Structure 1
Amino acid sequence: MSIAIQDPFHILADPKLSFLATAFDPVQVQQQFQTQLFYRSERLKAIEIQAIRVIRYKPQRRCLIEYDVLIEHAGEVRSMTWIAKVRSKKLDRSCYRLQQLLWDHGFGQDSTDGISVPEPIGVVPQWRMWLQCKVPGILATEVISTAAGTELAKGIADAAHKLHRAWILPKRCHGIEEEMAILHDRLSRVIVQYPHWQTRLEQVLAQCDRLASSISSNLICGIHRDFYPDQVLVDGSRLYLLDFDLFAGGDRELDIGNFNGHLIEQSLRLLGDPNALATQQAALSDRFIQISGEATHHAIEVYTTLTLVRHIYLSTQFPERQPFTEAILEHCEHRLKQPSLVLR
């Protein structure tokens, strides 16, 4: 069987992912998919592999592979693309089950509120992969700064609220203590890399510690925990939530603060003004507070600040972002002096 295979990353040269060798053999793929996978609760009667593409790769850890397939379902032949998520260590069954739970409980393709997740297809244990349907749309990152960004922000707040109300509680938790532990670790690495900023960074961290002590976890629910514009796909009036790898039990305000923190960093780095997307940030926060309660306001501000401080470290990890590290640090210092962050 001759098909197009694209592997620009040469992942089979990675010893941690060598078990994927047969995942690029169309005959083996066809056999595995036909025996392992179901579509809409039915075993696949016929399947044809048309193309295989590696679209994302993190060395020695994970990758994403797209499979273009023709399948027969309900008497029709359908052309689809499936995205396979692979981890080097072990199959992430918990993430697949979570996506399945969400799909079956209000996040399906035809949800009346227009908030969905991609449809899960199944798992192939031999390749430590689980698969979902590729869905249409563009990343919210590309829309949020346009004229449609304010209304989109309100819809994203609704989507986060819906996820929090799903009451799917994972085994792991991530509260303010865990968030601060990560921040301490990341800023300690920045100090090693930029020792001339040690005093400034230590002061920022001390202020973050005091800020963190001003909130308490009153409502623990399932949170995305990695919520930012690239995790939302926009297809007209429908929103798809993506990538639940870090899903945990935690503070619902963390998701909104994380999203707003990313918007500030995006504004500073790409638009030259940390307040360039302030209208969208306000729309997101105001809508979430409206539907979740005024009590969430302060915690959203706190988590926004902590996210922005974490971006000091993140900026050091990408060559194209390193020129903005000090600008982010300066904005964090400025933000921590604002009256809205006075301890309560």
Structure 2
Amino acid sequence: MDVVSEAATAAGRAPYRHRLELLAAGAVEPHLDAWAVQRGLDVAGPWRRTYGKLRPKRSPWALLVYDAPGVPTVQVRLLEADDDRAVAAADAGDLGRVEVVACADDSALPGLQEVLSSLDSPRVARYHPGDRCTVRGGTDAGARFVKVFSDEADDQVEAAERWQASVSGVLSFAVAEPHGWVERTRSSWYGVVPGAPLEPLLAGPEGERLSRRVGTSLGELAVSGLLPSRVDDSARQLARTRRQLGRGADAVPALTDDFMRALEVLMSAHERLGPASLVPIHGAAHLGQWLVDDAGRLGLIDFDRFAMGEPEFDLATFVVELLATSGARASGAALRDAVLDGFRSVAGEPDPARLELYLVHKGLGRAARAAAGLAPDGEERARRQLGELAPSLAALR
């Protein structure tokens, strides 16, 4: 066997696979431990990766976020060895060079340190290096979630309108109460939406009822009369999916033809769409955004993509993730029907052509993210998902 040729072929198919295997095997953790020792920090438990992004053909080629008990949340930048910025970074062998930076020292978020210092027992809930960080902590007035942005992103006016719609009953679900924008720290302050994650309940006996209520909630939002300033129409959705497929192809060149053929199908389907009236949409209504409290009331969080758009996109976002969960697959058709029944009971019949198109959009997005993800078997997962989508793509032709 020609081992060199086989290795070269594998690298051509998935050039990041070896690095991702090292990452999965724990190659970064010793550098995190060394960083903590240099700063006199006592790591009281295992490191946990909470965010990761592969950046094909760029340096850093990966951005990661880790936390552990007793230490601050950190970002890890994996740079190519020939990157001029890598001179001061630690040598990580085949991973390239590694930089570890506390999230509070992120130069793109100059207000984060002040926000962390102002809260009691602050905890980083979500951190996207160089972009934004969401922190939970206590104040004299109660618990707060604070979003710290890299740019001027004052969303409090629209948040106040959503809150009023929720407390007045226009929206039956709970949303976060806004508590002000602080320009100095570029931070938006919110109350806490009560409840626990909805997802574990959807595979149980209450799954259909709760799925119907999600559909009803999305219908209420669509007819609420709210007027978000952003627009996220079909052209922007197509552009977003094109970018996702491009990243997937960059990460796994062997999938380029499959992704480009799928994109051509999408583009043709978009050309056949008629005009649509835009309504308020959440923009990212996936499973992780939904909560349910002890009284059974739903909550919906993270309106970062709140926009005027097509409600079929919200429906497809939820349904595709719902059908992909292992516990819900056995009753997937019933759950999907329940979501749509809930929506149409409030907002009328969704456009079937648009809904099917966006279901394919979201399925392709999942496949592209698998290819451009941090799992070493991303190519295999992406191929499997593309195979599952084949009948739907054929139906769009």
TM-score (norm. length: structure 1): 0.79
1:61 and 1:163 map into 2 onto residues whose CA distance is 27
Query: Which residue pairs with 1:280 in the alignment?
Result: 335
Aligned counterpart in structure 2 of residue 262 of structure 1, from 304, 321, 330? 321
Query: Which residue pairs with 1:179 in the alignment?
Result: 237
Give the RMSD, CA atoms, in angstroms: 2.5
CA displacement at 1:128 relative to structure 2: 0.8
Query: Which residue pairs with 2:281 in the alignment?
Result: 223
Q: Does 1:242 align with 2:301?
A: yes
1:89 and 1:130 map into 2 onto residues whose CA distance is 12
CA displacement at 1:62 relative to structure 2: 0.8
**Residue 112 and residue 310 in structure 1: after superposition, are their counterparts in 2 closer, same or farther (change >3 A)?**
closer
1:194 and 1:14 map into 2 onto residues whose CA distance is 30
8 A Cα contact 1:83 1:131, kept in partner: yes
**Residue 97 and residue 192 in structure 1: after superposition, are their counterparts in 2 closer, same or farther (change >3 A)?**
same
Which structure 2 segments of 5+ residues have no match? 1-68, 75-101
Query: Which residue pairs with 2:346 in the alignment?
Result: 291
Aligned counterpart in structure 1 of residue 139 of structure 2, from 54, 65, 69? 69
1:312 and 1:227 map into 2 onto residues whose CA distance is 18
- 1:121 is aligned with what amino acid? H
Q: Does 1:55 align with 2:95?
A: no
Query: Which residue pairs with 1:88 in the alignment?
Result: 150
1:290 and 1:207 map into 2 onto residues whose CA distance is 32
2:204 and 2:288 map into 1 onto residues whose CA distance is 15
Query: Which residue pairs with 1:325 in the alignment?
Result: 382
Q: Equivalent pairs: percent with the same residue?
A: 21
1:6 and 1:118 map into 2 onto residues whose CA distance is 29
Structure 1 SS opposite 2:312: helix
1:24 and 1:113 map into 2 onto residues whose CA distance is 32
Query: Which residue pairs with 1:315 in the alignment?
Result: 370
2:363 and 2:255 map into 1 onto residues whose CA distance is 17
8 A Cα contact 1:223 1:250, kept in partner: yes
**Residue 20 and residue 191 in structure 1: after superposition, are their counterparts in 2 closer, same or farther (change >3 A)?**
closer
Which structure 1 segments of 5+ residues have no match? 30-48, 72-79
2:249 and 2:112 map into 1 onto residues whose CA distance is 39
1:161 and 1:211 map into 2 onto residues whose CA distance is 25
CA displacement at 1:308 relative to structure 2: 0.8
Name the stretch that deviates more: 110-119 or 298-307.
110-119
- 2:122 is aligned with what amino acid? I
Structure 1 SS opposite 2:166: coil
1:179 and 1:284 map into 2 onto residues whose CA distance is 22
Structure 2 SS opposite 1:134: coil
Structure 2 SS opposite 1:168: coil
2:300 and 2:158 map into 1 onto residues whose CA distance is 12
Q: Does 1:139 align with 2:197?
A: yes
- 2:193 is aligned with what amino acid? V
State the structure with bigger RCO (CA 8 A, min sep 6), 1 or 2.
2
Structure 1 SS opposite 2:73: coil
Per-residue CA deviations over 1:55-105 (Å, capped at 9, x if unaligned) read 22111111111121233xxxxxxxx21000111222x21x2221111112x
> Number of paired residues?
299
1:274 and 1:187 map into 2 onto residues whose CA distance is 26
1:107 and 1:294 map into 2 onto residues whose CA distance is 24
